[in-house]
Amino acid sequence: MLQRTLRTPALRSALSALSPRATSTTLLPRITSSLAQTRLLSQEVRTAIEKAVASAPVVLFMKGTPETPQCGFSRTSIQILGLQGVDPRKFTAFNVLEDEELRSGIKEYSDWPTIPQLYIDKEFVGGCDILINMHKDGSLAQLLAEKKVIIEDDTNPDSDAEGQQAQETRATTEQSTGARSKDAKGESS
């Protein structure tokens, strides 16, 4: 009997919305209130976010800038990306504090409630907590290596265009002077 008494008021209120007495006049305020709480992302903001996400292989939406993060989570995310060796030429960051539409829009775009947010090759990776876990278990290093967004090893100067150009300049200098040139470390080539 006690269980029936406890259930009855709950059932009555749940069923009252479905009763024949429920009309558009009684339901409309509930629906309107529910829709007012849900913000719809405008096409203009969605397009701007899509362009931002596609602007570099590694994109971080953060509070502040990489040089001056404005929250601890953004600072931690930048530090993790630095420790992982992300190539600065393949990385960009957007300060959500400069644009309220971006700040709220990126949360809706990714369906993730917090900032910072990391995207790699246009795919949402996660926030600071996800980055920390991926950094600890090695999966972030693996992902960044697969996407080829980390700085190449400096031991082989032929590994990139700048290294190749430096090697050619060094060889030309050696031919014209007859001497061995030294690199920045003072080592002969």
Residue 39 has what pLDDT?
Answer: 56
pLDDT at 34: 43
pTM above 0.85, yes or no: no
Q: State residue 11's pLDDT score.
A: 41
Domain boundaries defined on the chain: 43-147
Q: Give the list of residues 6+ apart from residue 78 with CB closer than 8 angstroms, or none.
A: 60, 62, 66, 69, 93
Identity of the amino acid at 72: G
Determine contact, residues 122/57, Cβ cutoff 8 Å.
no
In the predicted model, is pLDDT for residue 33 greater than 50? no
Report d(CA 62, CA 114) in Å as an integer. Answer: 10
Give the pLDDT confidence of 81-104 residue by residue, as tens digits: 999 999 999 999 999 999 999 999
Determine the average pLDDT of the residues in 13-31: 52
- 57: pLDDT strictly greater than 80: yes
Question: What's the pLDDT at 156?
Answer: 46
**Nearby residues of 94 by Cβ (< 8 Å), 6 or more positions away:** 52, 59, 60, 61, 62, 102
Q: How many Å apart are CA 144 and CA 86, to the nearest integer? A: 8
Instruction: Tell whether the model's pLDDT for residue 155 goes beyond 50.
Output: no
Comparing CA positions, the residue from 144, 103, 105 lying closest to residue 125 is 144
Percent of the chain predicted with pLDDT > 90: 57
pLDDT at 154: 56
Q: Which residues are CB-neighbours of 153 under 8 A, at least 6 positions away?
A: 159
Give the whole-angstrom CA distance, residue 40 versus residue 54.
22
Read off the amino acid at residue 9.
P
Residue 56, beta-bridge partner list? none
CA distance 79 to 140: 13
Alpha helices (H) along 20-71 = 24-37, 43-53
Quick one: fold of 43-147? Answer: Glutaredoxin (3.40.30)
Residue with more model confidence, 3 or 67: 67
